Structure 1
Amino acid sequence: MASTHAGARAGATYFVDSRAGDDGAAGTSAATAWKSLDKVNAAALKPGDTISVKRGSGFTGPLRLKASGTAAQPIKIQAYGTGALAKISGTRDDCVVVKGDHWRVSGLRASGCRWAGFLLDGDSNELNGVQADRNVAGVYVTPAGSRNTIRDSVLTDNNRMSVNDEGGDNDSGAFGVLLNGDDNVVTGNTITGSYAKSDDYGTDGAAVEIFNGDRNRVTHNTSRNNETFTELGARKGKTATGNVFAFNVVTSARSRGSFLITRGSHHVVGPVKGTIAVHNSVYLPARDTIGWSCHDGCAPSILKLRNNVVMVGGEAGWEDGSGADEDGGVYKGRTAKFKLGPKSVMADPKFVSRTDLHLRPGSPALKRGVPLTPRWYGGKAFGKDITGKALPGSPDAGAYQS
């Protein structure tokens, strides 16, 4: 028989069903489910409690999660029943607002919200298996949000701009994930369609954008048809230091796109220090594309790259200043403006197809990578390829190990 942790309480479970529920009911069983999110917002939730949300339900947000769990007893949100995930929408507010700490949120879809589908403003929260679409930001981690995890979720067509006007170089929006906080993890997600028209830039958007966020780890994500995979910046007086991008697969059929954009000290939102990109596989075949750009004062302290495979129809990579610190990579593009590392090569990586970035036999990326310690890819827990395969002593470049 399992024993309960000393001092732990048996959590209560509350049920919500927008179709058959009743806000006058007890909410403590599927047969007595509440009908609206108002009851959840008003509930005095405690560590160990669970909110079960009926699949197929539809709600107008916001869902406000203000209580806090503990590391041993998080507060959970989960789906029950069959059918599509419960959908929360509404243009008057962000849809799911997590103000507390130690929440485990799964089984919800946030669609067409005011700005963010999911807003994480607390610490040590986890989104797992959620969906977000048609928002300015699918998931927004605020400057106060730290040590949160966004995993195994589907963020689709978050393709709206919040600022979109002529001049000012200030258009903003179309984020799969926007990280303003520190020490967050974005892993195992599928992020598509972060792309919108922009008066300033023509088009804009990012799968994962980091602004003023430090030590975030972005790993093992699949990115398709986004404007850029990641763009980094920091307001003067702030930092975006030590962010890691590892084992991500980035493809796009769009007419323009990029993998990684970062800045040195001469840029208005620079310097962005200590960015690391390792074992990423990138294929952007259109002409108006760039693999990576480290500009306005690039240096090894700004960007380090190891064991990436980057094939683009435009510029494979671009650096100025003293340049990035690069090695173990395979690159192909019409042009390139950066110094290859000792083990790097300009060659066709022989991807299986435009969307399948496994390596074919004879690929120059096979055994091309240099051995890396766990700090390069965010810690031992992340030391595997995008399919979960362990890294060998002589690794292949890219996100897949043969």
Structure 2
Amino acid sequence: MKTIMRGLMLAAFSMVCGAAFFAVSASAAMYYMDSQGGSDNNAGTSQNAAWKTLNKVNATTFQPGDSIVFKRGGSWTGKLWPKGSGTAQAPIVVDAYGAGNPPLLNGNGEEAAVYLYNQQYWEIKNLEITNDNGASSRRMGIYVVNEGAGLLNHIYVIGNNVHDVYGNNVKDGNGSGGIKIRTKTGSVKSNYNDVRIDGNTVGPRVDRTGIDVNSDYWCRTDSGCTGTNNWYPSTNVVIENNYVTDVGGDGIVPMATQGAVLQYNTVNGFNMRSGTANAGIWAWNADDTVIQYNEAFNGNTTQDGQGFDIDYGQSRTIVQYNYSHDNDGGFMLICQPGGAKNDGGIVRYNISQNDYARTFHLAGPTTNTLVYNNTIYLPTGSTTSPIVAGSWDGYTKSVSFYNNIWHLDGGGIWDGLSNIASFTFKYNTIYGVHTVGEPADANKSTANPLLAAPGTGVNRSTVDGYKLLQGSPALGSGMAVSSNGGKDYWGNAVSQTGAPNRGAYNGPGIQGTPASIVKNGGFEAGVLSPWTNWNTAGVVSGNARSGSYALRLNGGPGSAEQIITLQPSTTYTLKGYAKTDNSSQPVRIGVKNYGGTEQYAVITSTSYSLGTVTFTTGSANTVATIYIYKPSGTGYAYGDDVTVE
């Protein structure tokens, strides 16, 4: 009898528990917000009975599976801080509904426009967020805080537009930011797991950091901290598909993370206001970070100022498949102070175009860094140093450069490399200008690597100009690197054992014509640059042999000249077309300052005629001056389609 009764009681208990679980799941509700037609006296659970103010939301503790949806076209002022937490099966979602512009939340000088404190399983989506009352102070757009709550899970920030967060530019973990996920010291050691920041636009006019994840649990010897070890990193952090622009300091920075992934992000314009050391995309005090498929440009500083950075407190950071361009501080910083750690970083299959100051900046006693299969382009007139090795409590201890291509139409010195304790430089290509400090390399190539169209990249998806043409000496001439990631910038396979290409491209040579050594040789830029004028030269519309523009010399003497980058002891052919209005006033196409006697072709024709000059550079000559010159007379002369092969 007791056994029967126990069975009946257990069955009844199971039914009650099941009903309770069903009731919790079924209780999930959608709450509507309407800043114009809503009322806080409404139930909030339908569009026709929406709530109105943030106060109503902030006074409510939401249940797992609930949604809070804001009407598009509406606007709210103050801090949004809904209470409660979701579950793994039923997160709480903040989102938009209806048609029109995203719902606008203006913090108006609050600490944050959207705030969560010791909460988990939340998703914040599709909002427009500002936080500006005209006065600068510490403030955020979206601010998620863990203070002594232990492990908090599943914080997703997706598809929001955060701009005009007028904060201070103090650089610390508690500083201003567009989107900030922060762990503060509390009674319980705490961190986050499963953080996803995806598809947001941050900026313009956001201070100080665009996107960051940071923690007060950061102390360990790797970061130079001599106190009690309390490094407690957040895990499963993914920051992807975001566009960050016009930020006061850093672009995107995860700190105190393990295995964070930063991918498919764009940072356009960083350190616009802070005036301190910043970089575009980087991590700090974080192990096993992967930074890939990103673009960083328009960095506005030489205090750091690189598009990308492997900073200190890190082991095994990988920076791959990224595009850096037009950054004041350069492409890549690899650094640490004495007493900290930066070990095992890898920089591979990246492209740098028109970066300034230095393409690679090595600072401090970093160890075991590998830099291979990157492609670097510097334009004519650039003074950027290909590598700078400086001291930060000591110099780099060990770094290796393999299979990289530097296409240097211009460039500064290679600075400080003799200070590196263990510097390995093998199978690299250095083409163009050769300056002081260039490292020795028994397998170095100085031949034109035949990049398809260097200098023509616009964004991360338009860099096919850095593929190799058929016949390139960089094809299959590199050295094998183990554990090399298995693919290049474009996704072509890279063998673990066979000789790869040099540079970021490992596919077969593509068809095409090598880029002309002469820049603006057809004058189709509509301006003279990079040619220089002496007396009478200018560019005109019309009278062109091809295209829409031509060079015109308004009488003589006068000329247009261009300094081009060449290889020593190499034979070249200069070709160009010219004509003169008066056959008794000839025009010359020529070359000088190449290590031999000045040579030129004389053209007296009143219609375009080809002039050809063949010359061989001297053994130590890496530049030449080409020109179109009219010695005398008052008539016009024209030039077009100048090439050097």
TM-score band, normalised by the shorter chain?
Answer: 0.7 to 0.9
Residue identity opposite 1:243 in structure 2: T
1:179 aligns with 2:254: yes
Give 3-state SS (helix, strand or coil) of 2:353's partner: strand
**Could you tell me whether the CA contact under 8 Å between 2:254 and 2:284 is conserved in 1?**
yes
Residue identity opposite 2:401 in structure 1: E
1:116 aligns with 2:140: yes
- Identify the match of residue 358 of structure 1 among 459, 463, 478: 463
Q: When the two structures are aligned, how many residues end up with a matched partner? A: 364
**Hey, what does 2:265 align to over in structure 1?**
189
Deviation at 1:341, TM superposition (A): 4.8
- Deviation string for 1:323-375 (max 9, x for gaps)? 3233343334514456575444334754462424512253678777967758x
**Could you tell me whether the CA contact under 8 Å between 2:268 and 2:296 is conserved in 1?**
yes
1:212 aligns with 2:285: yes
Report the TM-score when normalising by structure 1: 0.74
Distance 1:137 1:55 in 2: 25
Distance 1:400 1:29 in 2: 57
Distance 1:362 1:32 in 2: 63
**Hey, what does 2:628 align to over in structure 1?**
none
**Hey, what does 1:305 align to over in structure 2?**
371
Cα distance change on mapping 1:72 and 1:181 into 2, 3 Å: farther
Deviation at 1:198, TM superposition (A): 4.4
- Deviation string for 1:208-241 (max 9, x for gaps)? 343333444333233332343344555xxxx344
Distance 1:275 1:123 in 2: 29
Residue identity opposite 1:309 in structure 2: T
Distance 1:198 1:117 in 2: 18
Residue identity opposite 2:338 in structure 1: H
Cα distance change on mapping 1:275 and 1:17 into 2, 3 Å: farther
- Identify the match of residue 157 of structure 2 among 127, 139, 147: 127
My pick for the range that moved more, 333-342 or 76-85, is 333-342
1:329 aligns with 2:404: yes
**Hey, what does 2:583 align to over in structure 1?**
none
- Identify the match of residue 154 of structure 1 among 179, 192, 201: 201
Q: Could you tell me which runs of 5 or more consecutive residues in structure 2 were left unpaired when the two chains were aligned.
A: 1-20, 133-137, 146-151, 166-175, 184-190, 210-246, 301-305, 390-394, 418-422, 432-448, 511-645
**Hey, what does 1:260 align to over in structure 2?**
332
Percent identity of paired positions between Structure 1 and Structure 2: 20
1:142 aligns with 2:213: no
**Hey, what does 2:317 align to over in structure 1?**
243
**Could you tell me whether the CA contact under 8 Å between 2:75 and 2:104 is conserved in 1?**
yes
**Could you tell me whether the CA contact under 8 Å between 1:145 and 1:181 is conserved in 2?**
no
Distance 1:233 1:94 in 2: 29
Cα distance change on mapping 1:146 and 1:27 into 2, 3 Å: same
Distance 1:65 1:323 in 2: 51
**Hey, what does 2:109 align to over in structure 1?**
91
Deviation at 1:291, TM superposition (A): 2.4
- Identify the match of residue 104 of structure 1 among 101, 123, 133: 123
1:315 aligns with 2:385: yes
1:221 aligns with 2:290: no
**Could you tell me whether the CA contact under 8 Å between 2:30 and 2:66 is conserved in 1?**
yes
Distance 1:95 1:214 in 2: 31
**Hey, what does 2:171 align to over in structure 1?**
none
Give 3-state SS (helix, strand or coil) of 2:57's partner: helix
Cα distance change on mapping 1:391 and 1:35 into 2, 3 Å: farther
**Hey, what does 1:9 align to over in structure 2?**
25
Deviation at 1:56, TM superposition (A): 2.6
**Hey, what does 1:165 align to over in structure 2?**
none
1:392 aligns with 2:470: no
* Structure with greater contact order relative to length (CA < 8 Å, sep ≥ 6): 1
**Hey, what does 1:3 align to over in structure 2?**
none
Give 3-state SS (helix, strand or coil) of 1:291's partner: strand
**Could you tell me whether the CA contact under 8 Å between 2:249 and 2:274 is conserved in 1?**
no
**Hey, what does 1:28 align to over in structure 2?**
45
Give 3-state SS (helix, strand or coil) of 2:110's partner: coil
Runs of 4+ residues over 6 Å off in structure 1:
364-372, 399-402
Residue identity opposite 1:362 in structure 2: L
Question: How is 1:339-354 mapped onto 2 (pairs within 5 angstroms)?
Answer: 341-347=425-431, 350-351=453-454, 353-354=456-457
**Could you tell me whether the CA contact under 8 Å between 1:225 and 1:251 is conserved in 2?**
yes
**Could you tell me whether the CA contact under 8 Å between 1:296 and 1:321 is conserved in 2?**
yes
- Deviation string for 1:104-148 (max 9, x for gaps)? 322123334643322344543222222223344222232444541
**Hey, what does 1:280 align to over in structure 2?**
350
Report the TM-score when normalising by structure 2: 0.49
Residue identity opposite 1:330 in structure 2: I
Q: Could you tell me which runs of 5 or more consecutive residues in structure 1 were left unpaired when the two chains were aligned.
A: 1-5, 163-171, 378-382
Larger Rg: 2
**Could you tell me whether the CA contact under 8 Å between 1:158 and 1:195 is conserved in 2?**
no
Residue identity opposite 2:86 in structure 1: G
Distance 1:399 1:20 in 2: 57
Give 3-state SS (helix, strand or coil) of 1:39's partner: helix
Distance 1:13 1:29 in 2: 8
**Hey, what does 1:37 align to over in structure 2?**
54
Cα distance change on mapping 1:371 and 1:324 into 2, 3 Å: closer
**Hey, what does 1:168 align to over in structure 2?**
none
Residue identity opposite 1:298 in structure 2: T
Deviation at 1:194, TM superposition (A): 2.0
Residue identity opposite 2:365 in structure 1: G
Deviation at 1:52, TM superposition (A): 2.0
Deviation at 1:28, TM superposition (A): 1.6
Distance 1:370 1:105 in 2: 46
1:293 aligns with 2:293: no
Distance 2:332 2:364 in 1: 15
Deviation at 1:295, TM superposition (A): 0.9
